Structure 1
Amino acid sequence: MSKQTLQLHSTLLSIHSLDVDANIPSALLKQPLFFISKTHDELSIVCPSEFEIQSLDTEPDWQALEVVGPLGFSLTGIMANISGVLASAKISIFSISTYDTDYILVKKQTATKALKALKNDGYNVVAD
């Protein structure tokens, strides 16, 4: 039985760490894909690498694997299985969830290996 479909996005992303009180650039909201998260300790932004942000630290060259959704809140184990497959293949991930779906970010240089591992585990993987 086939598992979820994953779509590999071609846009290279960077993960930024900012001071917790930093301003979020308004131009970021015009980007086609971005994620913002904030806690009492940190502010993180994931956005296209070509979008420049003044940040404390940056981790570039990530690609997003989108779990094609929408996914219901009653579904369980999706991220656990995908991350387990990638961990077994020794591939580091950065995961992000939205209301409708999940994104698993992998480094550009490990994307081919990640796709192979996921396909071998029964996932349908497509590229944009």
Structure 2
Amino acid sequence: MSKQTLQLHSTILSIHSLDVDADIPAALLKQSLFFISKTHDELSIVCPSDFEVKSLDTEPDWQALEVVGPLGFSLTGIMANISGVLARAKISIFSISTYDTDYILIKKHTAENAISALKKEGYNVVVN
């Protein structure tokens, strides 16, 4: 099976930790790229860094590598393989999955090294 194509998004993202009962800003839903996750004890928002969120803690300066999809639910090992390449290159990730695809967030300052490592392993990386 050929390796996937990944697209590096230019939007700089921040990962926010909020109180589990915090309100989600309505304007967030108008952003072009965002992710919300909630568990019984945590609320996290990933959104463009220029969108203001009142959060308990923030981790800024991430970029998203999108696995160009859609990906079928029967496919296996995609995230394991990509994260393995990045781990061997000493690049930390924050992964997010959607219905159609996966996103691997990398720190902006590691993007060049991440792209190089992925290309060396046969992945096609498109920068937009």
**Considering the TM-score relative to the shorter chain, is it more than 0.5?**
yes
Distance 1:38 1:2 in 2: 35
What is the TM-score when the length of structure 1 is the normalising length? 0.99
Distance 1:13 1:111 in 2: 13
Q: Which amino acid aligns with 1:37?
A: S
What is the TM-score when the length of structure 2 is the normalising length? 0.99
The C-alpha deviation readout for 1:47-87, integer Å capped at 9, x for no partner, is 00000000000000000000000000000000000000000
5+ long unaligned stretches in structure 2: none
Question: How many residue pairs get matched?
Answer: 128
Q: CA RMSD in A?
A: 0.7
1:109-128 matches, cutoff 5 A: 109-128=109-128
Distance 2:2 2:8 in 1: 17
5+ long unaligned stretches in structure 1: none
Distance 1:101 1:127 in 2: 17
Q: Which residue of 1 aligns with 2:97?
A: 97
**Fraction of identical pairs, as percent:** 86
Question: Are the counterparts in 2 of residues 63 and 106 from structure 1 also a CA contact under 8 Å?
Answer: yes
Offset, 1:41: 1.0
Moved over 2 A (4+): none
